[in-house]
Amino acid sequence: MSTEASSASKALPAAAGVIVGLLIFGGLSLWFGRPFIPTTNDLPTVLKEAPQLTAVAMAANAPPAAPTAPGEQTFNTVCAACHQANAKGIAGTFPPLAGSSWVAQDPETPIRIVLAGLSGAVEVSGSQYNSMMPPPPGLDDAKIAEVLTFVRSHFDNHGAAIDAAKVAEVRASLAGRAAPWSAAELSALRPK
Ligand code: HEC
């Protein structure tokens, strides 16, 4: 191929490119009614909204949000292992915390159960259980207050919040007791 032919073969597409460019510029200038120099106003709305759209897409793709309610984390990692994530328990084995009168009435009863455990026959929402709950290890007063407040305000329960001071008070009243409660003992201690 001669040098002339080769530079012509390069010049042609370049010229075509310039012409196409001019046509686009002319077309857009006609469209916008003035020489077309892009500004953000000319961008289609969807492009202007791109950052928001990206944020929405990222949120939709994000992993499930970490638990936000205080106590939810403790519930999920400790209590749910037995009482299940929906707090409905397992028939005959783990009683429900959802709608349980042991959970959501006086604050002392559920605090006593979490501090020292519960063993033997117990009736929960009309069903009988006869098992044993050891006190979950590693929960300080604040964590117990949080998890009980969470359980008492979720799963169809409507019990008042419990603070760490209340847990400390009940802990002190145990005077070092470590043996799990029986349901009869707990019932006798309940405010009438
Ligand atoms: C290792 C399994 C296990 C874990 C963990 C556990 N429980 Fe229990 N829980 C039981 C069993 C079993 C019973 C019934 C004991 C019985 O039959 O005497 C029970 C009973 C209860 C009761 C009284 C009955 C009822 O259903 O209302 C409450 C309240 C309770 N648990 C709260 C909790 C809370 C709050 C946590 C988490 C901080 C927790 N439990 C963690 C096994 C567990």
Q: How remote is the CA of residue 177 from the centroid of ligand 1, in Å?
A: 18
The atom number, within ligand 1, closest to the CA of 131 reads: 17
Check if 167 has its Cβ closer than 6 Å to any atom of ligand 1.
no
**Is residue 105 within 8 Å of 159, Cβ to Cβ?**
yes
Q: How remote is the CA of residue 83 from the centroid of ligand 1, in Å?
A: 7
Which single residue is written with the structure tokens 């490119």?
Answer: 17
Q: How many residues does the chain have?
A: 192
Distances from the Cα of 53 to the Cα of 22, 47, 50, 60, 65, angstroms = 33, 9, 5, 11, 19
Check if 150 has its Cβ closer than 6 Å to any atom of ligand 1.
no
The atom number, within ligand 1, closest to the CA of 119 reads: 18
Q: What is the pLDDT of residue 42?
A: 57
Q: Which of 7-21, 85-99, 167-181 has the lowest mean pLDDT?
A: 7-21
Q: What is the pLDDT of residue 99?
A: 97
> Around Cβ 11, how many Cβ atoms within 10 Å?
10
Check if 112 has its Cβ closer than 6 Å to any atom of ligand 1.
no
Check if 117 has its Cβ closer than 6 Å to any atom of ligand 1.
no
Check if 115 has its Cβ closer than 6 Å to any atom of ligand 1.
no
Could you tell me the maximum CA-CA distance found in the chain, to the nearest angstrom? 109
Check if 144 has its Cβ closer than 6 Å to any atom of ligand 1.
no
Give the residue among 116, 118, 108 at the shortest CA–CA distance from 83. Answer: 118
Q: What is the pLDDT of residue 191?
A: 87
Q: Which of 36-45, 88-97, 126-135 has the lowest mean pLDDT?
A: 36-45
* Sign of the torsion angle spanned by Cα atoms 165, 171, 174, 175: negative
Residue 7 CA from chain centroid, whole number: 66
Give the residue among 45, 27, 44 at the shortest CA–CA distance from 36. Answer: 27
Q: How remote is the CA of residue 146 from the centroid of ligand 1, in Å?
A: 16
Q: How remote is the CA of residue 132 from the centroid of ligand 1, in Å?
A: 8
pLDDT per position as a tens digit, 101-140: 999 999 999 999 999 999 999 999 999 999 999 999 999 9
Domains of the chain: 3-61 (no CATH), 72-189 (1.10.760.10)
Mean predicted confidence (pLDDT) in 141-169: 98
| Average pLDDT value for the chain | 84
Q: How remote is the CA of residue 86 from the centroid of ligand 1, in Å?
A: 14
Is pLDDT at 2 greater than 50 in this prediction?
Answer: no
Q: Which of 8-17, 95-104, 157-166 has the lowest mean pLDDT?
A: 8-17
129 vs 122: CA distance, rounded Å:
5
Mean predicted confidence (pLDDT) in 19-34: 63
Cα 124-87-186 angle, rounded to 5 deg: 35
Comparing 81 with 44, which gets the higher pLDDT? 81
Query: Tell me, what amino acid is at 151?
Result: V
Is pLDDT at 1 greater than 50 in this prediction?
Answer: no
